[in-house]
Structure 1
């Protein structure tokens, strides 16, 4: 086992943890018994206790079981933005022994259609502002039942915060599917809970080098490993108040901003959408102590010209991942609030953190050291031989939070793992190095993954959509540096001869925006008469990447 990081391990922590034998649903059950009258959720001025949450989870679980006929092992789509309904839905799905399939609310109809059919989803819980992306899918997918949630159902009686998103304030609309309040009004009682630690509980989707999304099979065990690992690593307390602004569909958002705080009986303050002014007001109003974010969020927050007008001195811990925090921003944060930004590393396949920066000795722009019971190494991606200090290779991970495999994809699951010293390691596809202190650093990616504002964008998936455009003959997508988003999506496009001069780059961008999630579509398009290829016709995407890198250096 790699132990190079042991000298940097926090003195107060053991290096190993016992994963609870209980389930993720049990976490809420215990918190509701321990802290029945404590506020669990603040939502734009409204507050809900642990008892409030628990009772609504039970009611929704009864509805799913008796009205939607959801059974143990069934996959249920959870497709909405951050709101109290997201939390209630997640635990209600687990309460009936079903599997939560969290879907990015920015995904469009074609992306939803693939995921629904891929894992055989029969029921979905959907935010009403994105309901139009789902309502036509019953006829061409396995989807049979839809429950629609209006976030305004959980707002306070009087307006406390201004300029709320339209999706938040819109009243419940009429449609042919079941409304949230109607479902809860049925007051159905679910059957006895029979969940076990080894049951499949979550099926988040990720993409791979083929560009097609893949479901990552996670049990209660893998989630519990990181829930409790995160709690101990962050020295979390039940008196904490967490600003929950990261999207809950995302692995970091659901683990650090939802599941971990509610497991210990802390309070969370929900933002449906990121808004730096709302974040500022929430921290001041609710005295938020903890904030897990992505670096682009923090950069935006610190750039708010009104920040000095509010009291944010309650903040005690700011951490995150997804993209490295610029060193200058980290120094500014420390000089102003006396806080270090703690970065970490993880993937959908490991349901968030596998590495974290120790509080007593963090390093900026660093993945950190392996977490509890994690054996992480760097290997040569071709020979699979373990490499030494400062040698660049592929990061591999063995740990309790590693997923079981890709849903119904045995070949791709086999290719995702390698055996070393009798252990099964997940191949991350990320190129990194280990320094003399045992800290891991990202260098490059084997996978053609673009990191745009903390979201993973897979070029081959974007290309597959671009090829549907009637004027496009060839397309190659790469990531280019962007001072705000980290990386931007750029498409090199070859038009059909008859289309040349009849379509503009702007028209391609506008079309792409309608076809895919907002973080995926190309912000930049460059027309070419041809693309560089190998002798066999394979497009040399790395050559285009290098050309763009040279351009950025000369600017």
Structure 2
């Protein structure tokens, strides 16, 4: 029987540690959830549950309805051991993420495996709160896991940078981080580790482009990434068709077939372009939103965050549209006029192909997100609305 486990943010999350320890030790598996959002009933599961099932964690719902991924004790142990091995050894963790999502949950689970007590702070992280939380950490090695928005807020503040510098490693995942922010933080002495993974792989399993110990990465015929090894989930609870579609056995191990386009070079370095269903088809040419977003952040002054989506275009089928956040003194919230869009296109022209240049730009106070800091492209399309219009 799977037990619902409400985990509040902040200090209340410590109360869940005992239930997680019992689940890892072979007790009843648990399903973490936010205490103010009772979860929907779990789907009926045909056949016996996996023998070592410990946690059922919901995916972020990036491709639609969240799916309950079944994580076993062996997968969670392999993930924790490989993470600590890559970072330099077990340590004490700072929890600054919602603990019912896989990234925040893993902070608690890694703490159980390391035999340490995590320090907790509110996910609405401020530079002063970060410094206070880090000062309360007593471990020989100290780690934190953040989403890109938190890293940006900390790395652009002198107090926040000081807090980050006191940590032995800062894992950043859940969405693509701004390369300029990452570079600036690293120059300031912060050990930023960019992670890639998902609920189905016990969270991050590729760090700074390199697979963790025991993890294998391959590219399927359609260009999507496959992740294999001991960290892969058993499948989805009560969803046999999706389990068959996304979980396969090969080379004596379980593999998860992702929906992310990417590549692996001859050195084994993994590059992720983004979700296959997020690609923009402009005049028959494919545009990866992440490439546009990184180009905008690097080459358009005053833009501090960007989200690219495809909208209907009368000539090209789809055109690139942008939601952006600007720094104080930048363009105000609202639609950027035609002349302004033209200026942005000229700034980007030396760096992006013509079919990737935006046709519409709208300034917003903040980008829409879902889950722990993941971009919500469906909401972005709703905010933009209408057609991109002619070039």
Alignment TM class, shorter chain as reference: 0.5 to 0.7
Mapping 1:179-328, distance limit 5 Å:
198-206=51-59, 211-237=64-90, 240-255=91-106, 257-276=107-126, 277-286=128-137, 289-304=142-157, 306-307=159-160, 313-328=165-180
Give the counterpart of 2:383 among 503, 521, 525. Answer: 525
Alpha-carbon distance between aligned partners in 1 of 2:92 and 2:55, rounded to the nearest angstrom: 26
Which structure: greater strand fraction? 2
Alpha-carbon distance between aligned partners in 1 of 2:64 and 2:321, rounded to the nearest angstrom: 15
Alpha-carbon distance between aligned partners in 1 of 2:263 and 2:94, rounded to the nearest angstrom: 33
Alpha-carbon distance between aligned partners in 2 of 1:342 and 1:314, rounded to the nearest angstrom: 15
- Give the 3-state SS of the residue equivalent to 1:233 in structure 2: helix
CA contact (8 A) 1:208 1:447 kept: no
User: What residue number does 1:397 align with?
Assistant: 227
- Give the 3-state SS of the residue equivalent to 1:318 in structure 2: strand
Structure 1 residues 343 and 481: alpha-carbon distance in aligned structure 2, compared to 1, 3 A threshold: farther
Give 1:441 shift.
0.7
CA contact (8 A) 1:76 1:98 kept: no
Q: Deviations for 1:161-213, whole angstroms, at most 9, x for unmatched residues?
A: xxxxxxxxxxxxxxxxxxxxxxxxxxxxxxxxxxx994211111126687222
Structure 1 residues 313 and 447: alpha-carbon distance in aligned structure 2, compared to 1, 3 A threshold: closer
CA contact (8 A) 1:216 1:405 kept: yes
- Give the 3-state SS of the residue equivalent to 1:397 in structure 2: strand
User: What residue number does 2:218 align with?
Assistant: 377
CA contact (8 A) 2:235 2:247 kept: no
CA contact (8 A) 2:210 2:269 kept: yes
Structure 1 residues 378 and 267: alpha-carbon distance in aligned structure 2, compared to 1, 3 A threshold: same
1:334 aligns with 2:186: yes
Alpha-carbon distance between aligned partners in 2 of 1:197 and 1:230, rounded to the nearest angstrom: 24
Mapping 1:336-351, distance limit 5 Å:
336-337=188-189, 339-351=190-202
Alpha-carbon distance between aligned partners in 2 of 1:374 and 1:307, rounded to the nearest angstrom: 33
Give 1:447 shift.
4.2
Alpha-carbon distance between aligned partners in 2 of 1:353 and 1:292, rounded to the nearest angstrom: 10
Alpha-carbon distance between aligned partners in 2 of 1:417 and 1:197, rounded to the nearest angstrom: 14
Alpha-carbon distance between aligned partners in 2 of 1:394 and 1:370, rounded to the nearest angstrom: 16
Alpha-carbon distance between aligned partners in 2 of 1:348 and 1:266, rounded to the nearest angstrom: 23
Give 1:347 shift.
1.0
Unmatched runs of 5 consecutive residues or more in structure 1: 1-72, 121-195, 358-367, 382-392, 452-458, 460-477, 485-512, 529-543
- The CA RMSD measured in Å over matched residues stands at 4.0
User: What residue number does 1:439 align with?
Assistant: 269
When Rg is computed on C-alpha atoms for both structures, the one with the higher figure is: 1
**Count of aligned pairs:** 304
User: What residue number does 1:80 align with?
Assistant: 8
1:118 aligns with 2:48: no
Q: TM-score scaled to structure 2, two decimals?
A: 0.65
CA contact (8 A) 1:433 1:441 kept: yes
Alpha-carbon distance between aligned partners in 2 of 1:278 and 1:207, rounded to the nearest angstrom: 27
1:352 aligns with 2:203: yes
Mapping 1:137-148, distance limit 5 Å:
none
Q: TM-score scaled to structure 1, two decimals?
A: 0.47
Give 1:104 shift.
4.5
Give 1:412 shift.
1.3
Alpha-carbon distance between aligned partners in 1 of 2:27 and 2:173, rounded to the nearest angstrom: 31
Alpha-carbon distance between aligned partners in 2 of 1:372 and 1:411, rounded to the nearest angstrom: 30
Structure 1 residues 116 and 301: alpha-carbon distance in aligned structure 2, compared to 1, 3 A threshold: same
Unmatched runs of 5 consecutive residues or more in structure 2: 280-288, 291-308, 310-319, 327-367
Alpha-carbon distance between aligned partners in 2 of 1:87 and 1:209, rounded to the nearest angstrom: 28
Q: Deviations for 1:116-153, whole angstroms, at most 9, x for unmatched residues?
A: 25369xxxxxxxxxxxxxxxxxxxxxxxxxxxxxxxxx
CA contact (8 A) 1:252 1:352 kept: yes
Mapping 1:63-142, distance limit 5 Å:
73-82=1-10, 83=12, 84-92=14-22, 97-104=27-34, 108=37, 112=39, 115-118=40-43
Give the counterpart of 1:414 among 230, 234, 244. Answer: 244
CA contact (8 A) 1:209 1:448 kept: no
Give 1:287 shift.
6.4
Q: Deviations for 1:395-419, whole angstroms, at most 9, x for unmatched residues?
A: 0122111111111111111111345
